[in-house]
């Protein structure tokens, strides 16, 4: 922690302001002292969740800078034809050139600077979205918090990459922290950063990180929480709320690459992860195997559809998905705990209805949007559950986003 950036939240109330805050627009709270950012988020969660439960104090960061371990930087040209790199201005495709960003891991812009300085000698041009000319569109940098390994993804508008070996050599000589480089081709007119086609140019094509003592594989496209320091605290809280003793059957819905379920599995009888994204499910299976976790199964399905069918399964209809049969279904659903971590839109009424029919003693709701959390908690409260705990976590300092863990348990256990 350097002197001027060190933030002991209680001692140093100053927040270093970002020079690009107005032009970039991503970090709407970055100009506020960190204490005030936390206060704002606390009040926001209180206003939505306070009627269900006393909201715990928000868990902030010791050092709320450079926490993002996944960084996307766009390349372009200025009017004079010089290479520029930076972030798109919020809601546009205009590049805000910036050599620094206060929330990204610092190595990302250093790598971008190196690439920008190498480009002229390699006659490499930034991609022009309007004319479909040039080469480099974006870079994506992902960093392992645990091992400090770095992945660099070079996203180009064409698959023709002249002198690629020499380019890779030049970059890795200057950045020995880079352990793998991937060439991703995105020739579509799209706001998606990554295209489908990929080639590993250097290293093994993925990096690994450790969270809650488990190892997770991160490939260019896999979902992985962007703030590992806070994620560890968030997962610990979620698993503490699940109150596992080793006897429980647990559902980890919207499980991504299986992180929460894999961490929880040591303390549960069995875990079933449900996830819609195929690539995430295959990463989840690899993660379970690499950690030697045998009591977890994953199904690739829409969480609502699966949960609704699961309800049917408990009513005696033969389950039609392999994962379902792996759970021991008794007279009731056999599910003791449902952990759910849906995207910002929250869950669906049908999903929540299926949960109440399934009747687990505890529901642990991990949310990245307090508005949809409050809506879904209202449903569960109307259908036999009571909110017992609600803990906000500051996963995204500088921005207005806030993550929350909410524990609900049955009002009268059956
Ligand atoms: N629990 C994970 C992932 C949370 S992000 C973690 O902490 O890393 C939310 C996840 O929900 C994403 O992986 C997304 O692909 C998945 N998802 C979105 N809609 C879904 C749906 N309808 N059914 C199942 N999974 C869904």
Can you give the residue range of the structural domain that contains 96? 70-211
Share of the chain above pLDDT 90, in %: 79
384: number of Cβ within 10 Å: 15
- The reply to whether 76 and 191 lie within a common domain is yes
Q: What is the mean pLDDT of residues 160-184?
A: 97
314 and 260 together in one domain:
yes
Confidence (pLDDT) at 19: 86
Please report whether residue 50 resides in a domain: no
Identify the residue whose C-alpha is closest to ligand 1 atom 21.
Answer: 302
Quote the pLDDT of residue 330: 42
Arithmetic mean of pLDDT, 242-248: 97
pLDDT tens track for 357-376: 889 999 999 999 999 999 99
Is residue 234 scored above 80 in pLDDT?
yes
Which of 78-92, 307-321, 389-403 is predicted with the least confidence, judged by mean pLDDT? 307-321
**Mean pLDDT in residue range 67-77:** 96
Given 211, 245, 264, the domain boundary residue is 211
Among 153, 183, 211, where does a domain finish? 211
Q: Say how many C-beta atoms besides its own lie within 10 A of residue 308's C-beta.
A: 16
Average pLDDT over residues 59-65: 96
Residue 361 is predicted with a pLDDT of: 95
Q: Which of 150, 176, 211 is a domain's end point?
A: 211
Of the pLDDT bands very low, low, confident and very high (cuts 50, 70, 90), residue 332 is low
Same domain, 244 and 312: yes
Say yes or no: 381 and 292 in one domain. Answer: yes
Q: Are 38 and 29 in contact (CB under 8 A)?
A: no
Residue 281 CB less than 6 A away from ligand 1: no
Looking at residue 315, its pLDDT comes to 52
For residues 140 and 110, what is the distance between their CA atoms, to the nearest angstrom? 13
CATH number of the structural domain spanning residue 77: 2.40.50.1070
In a domain? residue 267: yes
Q: How many domains does the chain have?
A: 2
Q: What are the pLDDT digits (tens) for 298-331?
A: 999 999 999 998 766 555 444 444 444 444 444 4
pTM for the structure as a whole: 0.90
Same domain, 286 and 193: no
Q: Are residues 95 and 157 in the same domain?
A: yes
392 domain-assigned: yes
Mean pLDDT of the chain, nearest integer:
90
Distance (Å) from CA 404 to ligand 1 centroid: 15
414 Cβ contact list (under 8 Å, min separation 6): 332, 359
Residues noted as catalytic: 368
14 confidence band (pLDDT: 50, 70, 90): very low
Kindly give the distance from the C-alpha atom of residue 343 to the centroid of ligand 1, in angstroms, as a whole number: 6
Question: Cα(268) to centroid of ligand 1, in Å?
Answer: 21
One domain, residues 154 and 234: no
- 252 and 329 assigned to the same domain: yes
Residue 30 maps to a domain:
no
Q: Is the pLDDT of residue 348 over 90?
A: yes
Is residue 89 within 8 A of residue 96, CB to CB? The reply is yes
Which of the four pLDDT bands, split at 50, 70 and 90, describes residue 21?
confident
Residue 248 sits in the same domain as residue 370: yes
- Judge whether 39 lies within some domain: no
Look at residue 104 and tell me if it is in a domain: yes
Look up the CATH number of the domain holding residue 248: 3.40.50.150
Residue 384 lies in a domain: yes
* Statement to judge: residues 244 and 377 lie in one domain: yes
pLDDT (0 to 100) of residue 5? 38
Q: Is the CB of 341 under 6 A from ligand 1?
A: yes
Q: Residue 333 has what pLDDT?
A: 62
Query: What residue's CA is closest to ligand 1, atom 1?
Result: 255
Cα distances (angstroms) measured from residue 55 to each of 6, 182, 217, 231, 406: 28, 44, 34, 19, 9
**What pLDDT, on the 0 to 100 scale, is given for residue 312?**
60
Write down the pLDDT at residue 13.
43
User: Do 232 and 119 sit in the same domain of this protein?
Assistant: no
Instruction: Assess whether 81 and 165 both reside in one domain.
Output: yes
């Amino acid at each position: 922690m350097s002197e001027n950036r060190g933030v002991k939240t209680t001692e140093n109330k100053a927040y270093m302001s970002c020079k690009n805050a107005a032009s970039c627009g991503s970090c709407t709270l970055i100009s506020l002292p960190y204490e005030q950012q936390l206060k704002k988020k606390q009040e926001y969660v209180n206003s939505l969740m306070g009627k269900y439960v006393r909201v715990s104090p928000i868990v902030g960061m010791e050092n709320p800078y450079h926490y993002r371990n996944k960084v996307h930087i766009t390349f372009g040209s200025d009017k004079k034809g010089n290479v520029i790199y930076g972030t798109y201005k919020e809601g546009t495709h205009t590049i805000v050139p910036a050599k620094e960003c206060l929330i990204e891991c610092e190595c990302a812009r250093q790598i971008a600077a190196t690439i920008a300085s190498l480009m002229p000698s390699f006659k490499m041009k930034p991609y022009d979205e309007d004319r479909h000319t040039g080469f480099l569109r974006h870079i994506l940098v992902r960093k392992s918090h645990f091992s400090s390994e770095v992945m660099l993804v070079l996203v180009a508008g064409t698959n023709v990459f002249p002198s690629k070996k020499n380019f890779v050599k030049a970059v890795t000589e200057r950045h020995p922290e880079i352990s793998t480089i991937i060439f991703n081709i995105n020739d579509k007119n799209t706001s998606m950063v990554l295209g489908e086609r990929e080639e590993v140019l250097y290293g093994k094509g993925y990096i690994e990180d450790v969270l809650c003592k488990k190892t997770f594989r991160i490939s260019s496209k896999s979902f992985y929480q962007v703030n590992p320091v806070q994620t560890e605290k968030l997962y610990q809280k979620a698993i503490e709320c699940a109150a596992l003793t080793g006897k429980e059957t647990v559902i980890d819905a919207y499980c991504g690459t299986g992180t929460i379920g894999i961490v929880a599995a040591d303390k549960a009888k069995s875990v079933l992860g449900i996830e819609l994204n195929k690539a995430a499910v295959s990463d989840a299976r690899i993660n379970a195997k690499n950690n030697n976790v045998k009591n977890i199964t994953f199904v690739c399905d829409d969480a609502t559809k699966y949960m609704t069918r699961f309800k049917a399964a408990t009513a005696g209809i033969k389950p039609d998905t392999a994962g379902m049969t792996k759970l021991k279904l008794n007279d009731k659903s056999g599910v003791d705990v449902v952990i759910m971590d849906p995207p910002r839109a929250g869950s669906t009424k049908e999903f929540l209805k299926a949960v109440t029919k399934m009747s687990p003693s505890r529901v642990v709701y991990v949310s990245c949007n307090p508005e949809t959390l409050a809506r879904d908690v209202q449903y569960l409260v109307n259908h036999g559950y009571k909110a017992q705990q609600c803990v906000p976590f500051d996963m995204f300092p500088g921005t207005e986003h806030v993550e929350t863990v909410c524990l609900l348990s049955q009002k009268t256990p059956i």
